[in-house]
Amino acid sequence: MPGLLVTFEGGEGSGKSTQLARLAARCAELGIEPLVTREPGGTPLAEGIRGLLLDPARRPGPVAEAFLMEAARAELVTDVIRPALAGGRVVMCDRFDDSTLAYQGGGRGLDLEQLADWNRAATGGLTPDLTLLYDLDPAVGLARRAQAPGPLNRLDREPPEFHARVRERYVALARAAPGRFVVLDAALPPERLELLGWAALEAQLRRRGLIPSA
């Protein structure tokens, strides 16, 4: 039985990681143990690349940044995601290839067609079954990040204009693929946001026969 790939996207401070954890817990309550991973990261090599990408002391150029992202993605897909999907697992990934189109495409201004080609090379053409986009005014998200514990990473420190372009690209991606994306208002209370996200995920789980139909 094929698995299910669910990706969680959004700008800084959108709460997508918190929502991923909540939805993973709901799956576990139903006897489904999802594989939870993240980008960049999820393997020792990819976690090392994550450290390079988020280090405020380092300033890779836009193309180098994109290549680092793709290298981490290729490693994660080959070593973690594809084997899990082949085993029928539900995979929940905090960011995936849409992040490159939003951050390196929208934010950095790199060519979107070229980035899409690089994404396909890194993933072998793997496409998420469902993408939950947590949409939020960047000013609100950055204020949340500033109040969160721990230091700000390199992307947190980008100017507001950068984050506005990232959001615009995410919204455009969702409009171009309405059958895959579910756009959620990340300004909603976390409990309400969880219910909306679960409704979208539950529908996919029922469609795959992973939980009984209502």
The candidate with the shortest Cα–Cα distance to 70, out of 115, 37, 106, is 115
pLDDT surpassing 90 at residue 212: no
Confidence (pLDDT) at 152: 85
Between CA 106 and CA 172 the distance in angstroms is 10
Binned at pLDDT 50, 70 and 90, residue 49 comes out as very high
Q: Tell me what pLDDT residue 23 has.
A: 98
pLDDT over 90 (residue 48) = yes
Answer yes or no: are the C-beta atoms of 145 and 152 closer than 8 Å.
Answer: yes
Domains of the chain, by residue range, sit at: 4-207
Q: Are 122 and 97 in contact (CB under 8 A)?
A: yes
Give me the residues paired with residue 182 across strands.
132
| CATH code for the structural domain at 4-207 | 3.40.50.300
pLDDT band for position 43 (50/70/90)?
Answer: very high
Q: How much is the CA Rg of the chain, to the nearest whole Å?
A: 16
Amino acid identity for residue 8 in this structure: F
Decide if pLDDT at 211 tops 90: no
Q: Reply yes or no on whether the pLDDT at 208 is more than 60.
A: yes
Res 146: pLDDT: 87
Helix axis angle for 138-147 and 160-176, nearest 10°, is: 120
What long-range pairs does 185-193 form, CB within 8 A, spacing at least 24?
185/135, 185/136, 186/10, 186/14, 186/15, 186/16, 186/134, 186/135, 186/136, 186/141, 187/136, 187/137, 187/140, 190/15, 190/18, 190/19, 190/22, 193/15, 193/19, 193/134
The whole-chain average pLDDT of the chain stands at 95
- What pLDDT, on a 0 to 100 scale, did the predictor assign at position 200? 98
Is residue 127 pLDDT above 90, yes or no?
Answer: yes
Whether residue 214 is predicted with pLDDT greater than 80 in this model: the reply is no
The pLDDT tens digits of the residues spanning 149-192 come to 888 889 989 999 999 999 999 999 999 999 999 999 999 999 99
Q: What is the mean pLDDT of residues 26-39?
A: 96
CA angle 170, 126, 9 (to 5 degrees): 25
DSSP 158: S
Percent residues over pLDDT 90 in the chain: 89
Query: What's the pLDDT band for 1 if we cut at 50, 70, 90?
Result: low
- Beta strands 35-38; 181-185: pairing state: unpaired
Residue-wise pLDDT for 51-110, tens only, equals: 999 998 888 999 999 999 999 999 999 999 999 999 999 999 999 999 999 999 999 999
